[in-house]
Amino acid sequence: MEVNFLNRERERFLSVTQRLDEGILIFDENKNLCFFNKKAKDLLSFQEKDVLGKSPIELKSLPSFRPLFEITGFGLLNVFDQKIEIGNRVILKIISTDLLKGGEKIGSLVILKDVTRENLIEKMKSEFVSLVAHQLRTPISSMRWMLKELIEEKRGKLNEKQKEYLEEMYLNNERIVQFLNDLLSTIRIEEGKYLKKKEPFSLEAVVELAIKLFKPEIEKRRLEIKYERPSRKLPLVKIDVEGIKTVVENLLNNAIRYTNPGGEIEISLRAPITETEVEFSIRDNGIGIAEDEKERIFSKFFRGKGAVRKETEGSGLGLYICKNIIEAHGGEIWFESKEGEGTIFHFSLPIEKE
């Protein structure tokens, strides 16, 4: 009776897995391939006699298996949603996880999903957005120059109303330029092309330049900036200077926009006692972040309800860009916030020892 039940369950399992759109590979406790479904065979183009009972070390000689083990290793490490390219530009997304029984590992499961079409569509979308952004940026930059010429009265005197209209046009033009720059930065990040040359540089210098850049806006909004300089000279960090400038300027710009006029912003820079990293922090006493929005704050195009209600301009790309730049440097970015009371953003960058 028990044997019949087990046979039925095995047949049901085989029937289900053969109909799946995902490829399935199962390795036993000795890391030998003991099962695969039809989809896995189609995706990886192999013959049963060449793979069944073989270990990852033996399977690496097959071209279609080699990219898989470059990700999981021969020990079949757990991985989630990693992409590999096999054969004629076929893109597979892979998940590798332990198979457990009673808390004990009895094998490994590898799931393969063909995302070639999705990948191609995503690439086409990125190329289209990039093309549009580049095409728009040139005429908009020309408009920026012409508006500045008019505002500075280099083309003749203006009355108060004319100047007011032109200044409003100039600000809106600046917002469009910033949005286009954010779009292009996002595309470069997703293509893995954002960071340029990394070189030893002073993070203090980057912070001081950002404060100087935003000084007119800080004074206009009557904000108090408290900059806690490090108590000792900090070591240089190896960074893409433009990238880290973008991060600091984004975080300072957010603090300014979301703090009410007359508010306070605190900036600090320090190296923990371990001297393995440099840490930057910026605190505002602005609108804060709602609890149910915290997990989405670094998502692409996300803007919180508080920011929308406050009618501040923004693309929802700034923090997404910041997170990607910091993580590309091997650093970490995080925050603490309470709605209505303010937010503290931190990021750390590793100090590279000579």
pLDDT at 333 over 90: yes
pLDDT at 13 over 70: no
Residues 57 and 7 in one domain: yes
Domain final position from 155, 190, 225 = 190
Give the mean model confidence (pLDDT) for residues 168-195.
77
pLDDT of residue 332: 92
Residues 69 and 206 in one domain: no
pLDDT of residue 106: 87
Pick from 183, 112, 172, 111: which is nearest to 144 by CA?
172
pLDDT of residue 267: 92
Could you tell me the pTM of the whole model? 0.61
- Work out the percent of the chain whose per-residue pLDDT is above 70: 90
How many Cα atoms occupy the beta-carbon half-sphere of 147 within 13 Å? Answer: 18
Residues 157 and 206 in one domain: no
Is residue 77 helix, strand or coil?
Answer: coil
Residues 61 and 127 in one domain: no
Q: 290 is in which domain, residue-wise?
A: 199-350
pLDDT for 24-52, tens place per residue?
Answer: 888 988 888 888 888 888 888 888 888 88
- How does the average pLDDT of the chain come out, rounded? 82
Residues 6 and 78 in one domain: yes
Tell me the backbone φ, ψ of residue 93, rounded to 5 degrees.
-100, 130
Domain final position from 138, 166, 190 = 190
Instruction: State how far the Cα of 254 lies from the Cα of 257, in Å rounded to an integer.
Output: 5
Which two tokens mark 72? 């999981």
pLDDT of residue 283: 92
Residues 326 and 220 in one domain: yes
Q: What CATH number is given to the structural domain containing 53?
A: 3.30.450.20
Number of domains the chain is built from: 3
pLDDT of residue 194: 67
Domain final position from 114, 147, 178 = 114
Q: What CATH number is given to the structural domain containing 279?
A: 3.30.565.10
pLDDT at 310 over 60: no
Residues 162 and 42 in one domain: no
pLDDT at 240 over 80: yes
Contact between residue 228 and residue 268 where contact means Cβ atoms under 8 Å apart: yes
Task: Determine the straight-line distance between the first and last CA of the chain, rounded to whole angstroms.
Answer: 69
pLDDT of residue 4: 47
pLDDT at 224 over 70: yes
How many Cα atoms occupy the beta-carbon half-sphere of 206 within 13 Å? Answer: 26
Determine which of 146-150, 244-248, 315-319 has the lowest per-residue pLDDT on average: 315-319
Residues 161 and 244 in one domain: no
CA triplet 193, 195, 198: central angle to 5 degrees? 145
Residues 287 and 324 in one domain: yes
